[in-house]
Amino acid sequence: MIDEGFDFIIIGSGIAGLYTALLAREVGNVLILTKGSIDECNTKYAQGGIAAPIGRDDSPEIHFEDTIAAGAGLCDPEAVRILVNEASDRIADLIEIGVPFDTQDGEVALAREAAHSRSRILHAGGDATGKQIEVTLSKAARVAPNITIMEHCLATEIIVRDGIAQGVIAFDSRAGSIEEFHAPIIILTTGGAGRLFKLTTNPDIATGDGVALAYRAGAEITDMEFFQFHPTALRLPGVPPFLISEAVRGEGGVLRNVEGHRFMHHYTPEADLARRDIVARSIVAEMRKTGSDRVFLDVTHLPRQTITTRFPHIYRFCLKHGLDITRGLIPVAPAAHYMMGGVKTNTRGETNISGLFACGEVACTGVHGANRLASNSLMEVLVFSKRIIETFGGKETVRDKKAVEERHFTLRKYDTSRITTPLRLAILQSLMWDNAGIIRSRDKLEEAALVLAAWYERLQKPTDRPYYELCNMVLVGRLLIEAALIREESRGAHFRSDFPEPSSGWEKHIIFRNTP
């Protein structure tokens, strides 16, 4: 391959990568590197929609308050202000590009989701919002001038010299070759790391590649202990976890235990519309109480047309597996869903490495804090992608004023000589689910930390995409577990059974940085 000397290299092809590329092409030549096909991404699985305060009874201030409340004391207020104030303009951008948002009576239809005090969720194709946005952006990117797309190229290293990002080394999995590309601006848009866990709503590509890349390059990684577990993933024998959107409860769906009783009101006044972390832990408690591995989501009291029109994808998927959700209860259980931590950026997407930017799930902008408010993630992508390109060309990183205290750490060293656990993907995923899942404790975290440290020390040089991904997952798993061990409290999505309450002394961010 010939390195044509690009102005931007974008790593990843979800909504973050595609939207950023379409903006960047207006000011320079863009290379998109994606480890699979351009259509292989997490975005298309986003069912709920995209949040924007555009309703007549809504406002940026109300959206701000809802987001801050969900974030459990760790949101960056400046980042949240930017999100809610710029949301309506970014919706207009999507409409101009051609995203077909659903309408009602001639206006954009707005739905409500848990922890939102207003109906502000735009959706497209009912519960196929992510797919509709991804398909629209993908089509635009494929035909846009100044965009080169290289599929099946996994970025393996960010080239950094004298503290400045200068290029990317990538593995072409089809040719089996190593390629090198150069650009003054590198933008990480690689998505999350849900495949770390045995049960997840994420596709196979969500292996934490961007966080691993950034950490090895010397970028700051923050808030890794905060991983969101979606309360309602389909739980059917032989069927991989499938997201049952929070919007289902927003439309009136209710949770029942295996005995058929509603239970959420016993755990929180908000009942079925409580925050995701509360609902997920409540479901775990109810499953333990009843000795079951599932609860049920009931929409049978809703009009059939409402279900089939608002949630056509969910309806068809369940029907394919023998379940008519208009007549029968949906078996569900929590599953790993969204990485709220990631590569630390300021409100312009800049990292501590000059020329290296990040946006989307791989980035930690400070918007989500300790617990993401539903459907804020797609809007975060649009807002902060735009802000990256607006600052194109800046060579110096200008850090924002710290909103919350920060504490910096390096990965601990362990005596791993007695660890003989073989490194296998399934073993890693089970270890993370059992020891660093919804409910954590010191003993379990330390057990996992030791095993992961042993694996990390014994990693071999990768020669194929699966092993590259496995190496990345081991590193990202270590960052998550070490952060969870350090944070001796419970806050948002991070729950420690040995420290079950939040502590004012822990209203701070945990940051890791690789040091030689």
Tell me the backbone φ, ψ of residue 91, rounded to 5 degrees. Answer: -65, -40
Label each residue of 428-442 as H, E or C.
Answer: HHHHHHHHHCCCECH
Which tokens go with 108? 């954009």
Q: Find the radius of gyration of the CA atoms of the chain.
A: 22
Tell me how far apart the alpha carbons of residues 270 and 408 are, in angstroms, rounded to a whole number: 36
Of 175, 193, 204, residue with least CA distance to 464? 175
3-state SS class at 123 = coil
Query: How many other CB atoms are found less than 10 A from the CB of residue 323?
Result: 18
3-state SS class at 354 = strand
Tell me the backbone φ, ψ of residue 121, rounded to 5 degrees. Answer: -100, 110
Of 249, 276, 440, 465, which one is the catalytic site residue?
A: 276
Query: How many other CB atoms are found less than 10 A from the CB of residue 304?
Result: 14
Does residue 276 have an active-site annotation?
yes
Label each residue of 237-299 as H, E or C.
Answer: CCCCCCECCCHHHHCCCEEECCCCCECHHHCCCCHHHCCHHHHHHHHHHHHHHHCCCCEEEEC
Number of H helices and E strands in the chain, helices first, is 13, 22
473 backbone φψ class: left, alpha, beta (φ>0; ψ -120 to 50): alpha
Identify any residues that bridge with 51 across adjacent strands, giving them in sequence order.
Answer: 121
Tell me how far apart the alpha carbons of residues 245 and 233 are, in angstroms, rounded to a whole number: 8
Residue 138, amino acid: S
Residue 427, amino acid: I
Tell me how far apart the alpha carbons of residues 128 and 380 are, in angstroms, rounded to a whole number: 19
Burial 428-452 (b: 16+ CB within 10 A, else e): bbebbbebbbbbbeeebbebbbbbb
389 backbone φψ class: left, alpha, beta (φ>0; ψ -120 to 50): alpha
Identify any residues that bridge with 357 across adjacent strands, giving them in sequence order.
Answer: 187, 350
Q: Report CA torsion sign: 418, 479, 275, 429.
A: negative
Residues classed as catalytic:
276
